[in-house]
């Protein structure tokens, strides 16, 4: 041990003597050589350590690539919102954790949410108060005029509408009269509250069993496409939440139409992202 120390000291002294006795050009060459060695060492370390240890499998890379390929590139806003959902969880926003009631109240404090019994779950399960959520069990567009009027009188900053599940039954799967009635209610709402931003939620996917029991529910895709066209025509924002139940069938209630509690934070997160709350 002492001999190694002595050799090291001797070598260092020799280097100092050489350094003092060398000219400026020699010193520059020594510094340049040392810098090259350090750079090469850093490069090799990064190549063989960091890259090999990266926690990204081919499966993860392919999943991320598929997610990006699935983007709707029609508008910058849609791309930005899709990226926000991916950031919220690897499968969109399916990893969203339930926040406190105060959190949701703060996010939706200047908003109203209108809809049927699925919407009612927002108040039943304690996420939002009933002065923000305006709904009724079995609500369809026919007979919901009072809800629209009540909502417009509040002059909300943003309004979210969720109709269609019951309408598919009452209109016997025909989307055209449904859209006509929806448009009429929304036009009336907009006249009374012109500064309110309007958001239309998609119709959630009924389970296969529910569609079997009530054939009119099989038209949910047609209805959602019609809703998206309505939004494009009128300048509203369409919020597509259908991926939630497509990927999380465990969130269905026994009737295959209503949903369990964990559905609501996922749904609210979509509204929060789309409306930039």
Q: How many Å apart are CA 93 and CA 39, to the nearest integer?
A: 42
Q: Could you state, in order of their start, the residue ranges of all structural domains in the chain?
A: 2-53, 93-274
Is 217:211 a contact under the CB 8 Å cutoff? yes
pTM of the model: 0.69
- For tokens 């789309």, the residue is 274
Residue 99 CB coordination number (10 Å): 15
pLDDT tens readout for residues 20-48: 666 666 555 666 566 556 555 555 555 44
pLDDT tens readout for residues 58-113: 544 454 444 444 444 445 555 555 555 545 443 444 667 788 889 999 999 999 99
Architecture of domain 93-274: 3-Layer(aba) Sandwich (3.40)
201: DSSP letter: E
């Amino acid at each position: 041990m002492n001999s190694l120390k002595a050799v090291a000291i001797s070598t260092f002294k020799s280097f100092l003597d050489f350094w003092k006795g060398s000219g400026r050009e020699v010193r520059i060459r020594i510094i340049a050589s040392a810098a090259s060695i350090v750079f090469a060492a850093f490069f090799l370390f990064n190549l063989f350590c960091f890259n090999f240890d990266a926690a990204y499998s081919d499966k993860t890379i392919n999943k991320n690539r598929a997610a990006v390929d699935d983007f709707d590139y029609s508008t910058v806003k849609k791309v930005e919102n899709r990226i926000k959902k991916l950031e919220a969880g690897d499968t969109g926003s399916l990893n969203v954790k339930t926040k406190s009631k105060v959190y949701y109240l703060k996010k939706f404090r200047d908003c109203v949410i209108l809809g049927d019994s699925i919407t009612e779950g927002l108040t039943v399960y304690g996420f939002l108060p009933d002065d923000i959520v305006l709904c009724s069990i079995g609500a369809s567009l026919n007979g919901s005029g009072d809800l629209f009027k009540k909502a417009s009188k509040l002059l909300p900053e943003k309004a979210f509408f969720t109709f269609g599940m019951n309408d598919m039954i009452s209109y016997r799967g025909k989307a055209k009269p449904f859209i006509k009635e929806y448009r009429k209610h929304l036009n009336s709402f907009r006249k009374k509250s012109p500064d309110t931003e309007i958001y239309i939620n998609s119709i959630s996917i009924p389970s296969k069993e529910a569609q079997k029991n009530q054939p009119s529910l099989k038209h949910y895709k047609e209805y959602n496409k019609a809703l998206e066209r309505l939004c494009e025509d009128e300048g509203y924002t369409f919020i597509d939440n259908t991926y939630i139940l497509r990927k999380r069938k465990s969130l269905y209630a026994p009737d295959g139409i209503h949903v369990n509690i964990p559905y609501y934070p996922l749904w609210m997160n979509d509204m929060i992202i789309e409306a930039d709350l």
